Amino acid sequence: MVCDWTISGGTVLGPEGFAATELHVEGGRIAGARPPGAARHDATGAWVLPGIVDLHGDAFEAIAQPRPGVHMPYDLAFAEADAQMIANGITTAFHGLTVSWEPGLRDIGVTRRLLDALEAAGPSLTCDTRLNIRWETFALDHVGEVLGWLDRRPGDILSINDHTTANHTFGTDSNKLKRMAARMGLTPEEAKTEINRIWARRDEVPATIDRICRDALAMGRTLLSHDDATAEDRAAGRACGVTVAEFPLSEAAARAAREAGEHVILGGPNALRGESHNGALCATGAIRDGLCTVLASDYYYPAPLHAVLRLHDAGILPLDKGWTLVASNPAAAVGLEDRGTLAPDRRADLLVLDQATRRVRAVFVNGRKVFARD
């Protein structure tokens, strides 16, 4: 597989902005000069951009279960997710893997099988695929197992999630609880019983959060908080070593994170559509106000690329600034210092994007051309 290239004719987004220049790749890294015998790739009429680093993507869940109760083979689902990500310029991805106390779709047995399938599929995947392990704070009995995964999987990150505190307040006639019950394979009444059962253990939660955060930090893992609702929530997470706010629900929570110099992740679909699908913080407004530093694919792999293009076309953020939301900022947020910008000695993860059609023409991962379209 060719790993030495000169990409010519395009407009390259480098550390200092866009420039009409050649980009050289040698041994999978960005090089300062054309390597001897390098192949040429014609990028005329295209932008040459750093590969997208996606910190939270769970669209693979819909690929693995395209309809309720219909399960596809996990190896096929991961391969299909890989193809979709690469075609949309995502070269590093963190699949959101939920660790919950729930039965049904999010049963710990399902989580284990997904992890095993990903590890088996890993060598055949094109995208650098890792895990955003989404630990539910009431999954009290699975902390040791999660820490074991983090210990043997050094590339993964840990997100602290608490949906139970809100879910326990819903009645059996709530649409939210009905959707949760369907996911659990239970009636709403049965689901409410299960929620009440785990809610009774709430006094165990604070010490368990302290333990998992302490041990994950000792391994050098990045910690994220999910769905912070208030500035106080963000402060509590910070006290446990959480340095990234993932999908904060309010402007106050996002502002508290930014004032502390922390990265804030919002959904690419939110920014692409111009609004949150569930009435949470609007990504467009947050970006305009400097309260969002990272966009993730969330539930739709095309979203990061096309959200940045929408921001550019709408005059909200020029492309060179907008691209930091999907490349250099997410890489920095989780300590991936070897990617995110097209600078010398960085990984040659990049895409060639046609300026006229806005279609991805080519994708390179670690110097290998892994996707090409005329």
How far lies 70's CA from each of 105, 147, 362, in Å?
11, 31, 33
Residue 90: both structure tokens together = 């995502």
With residues binned 3-state (H G I as helix, E B as strand, rest as coil), the percentages for the chain, rounded to 5, are 40, 25, 35
pLDDT of residue 234: 95
Domains along the chain with CATH numbers: 1-50+342-374 (2.30.40.10), 51-341 (3.20.20.140)
Q: How many CA atoms lie within 13 A of 23 on its CB side?
A: 37
pLDDT of residue 362: 98
**Contacts of residue 127, Cβ cutoff 8 Å, sequence gap at least 6:** 82, 85, 86, 90, 91, 92, 93, 365
pLDDT of residue 57: 96
pLDDT band at 199 (very low <50, low <70, confident <90, very high): very high
pLDDT in tens, 249-303: 999 999 999 999 999 999 999 999 987 877 788 999 999 999 999 999 999 999 9
pLDDT in tens, 75-126: 999 999 999 999 999 999 999 999 999 998 889 999 999 999 999 999 999 9
pLDDT of residue 136: 97
Is 70's pLDDT higher than 90?
A: no
**Contacts of residue 86, Cβ cutoff 8 Å, sequence gap at least 6:** 126, 127, 363, 365, 370, 371
CA distance 82 to 77: 8
Angle, helix 205-218 to helix 143-152, in steps of 10 degrees: 10
How far lies 102's CA from each of 74, 185, 210, 306, in Å?
20, 10, 22, 34
Is 188's pLDDT higher than 70?
A: yes
pLDDT of residue 1: 64
Percent of the chain with pLDDT over 70: 100
pLDDT band at 209 (very low <50, low <70, confident <90, very high): very high
Is 317's pLDDT higher than 80?
A: yes
Considering the entire predicted model, what is its pTM? 0.95
Beta bridge partners of 365: 368
Strands (E), 235-304: 244-246, 263-267, 294-296
Q: How many CA atoms lie within 13 A of 255 on its CB side?
A: 8
What are the backbone dihedrals phi and psi of residue 298, each rounded to the nearest 5 degrees, phi first? 55, -105
The mean predicted confidence, pLDDT, of the chain is 95
How far lies 49's CA from each of 60, 354, 362, 372, in Å?
25, 11, 11, 15
CA distance 26 to 36: 9
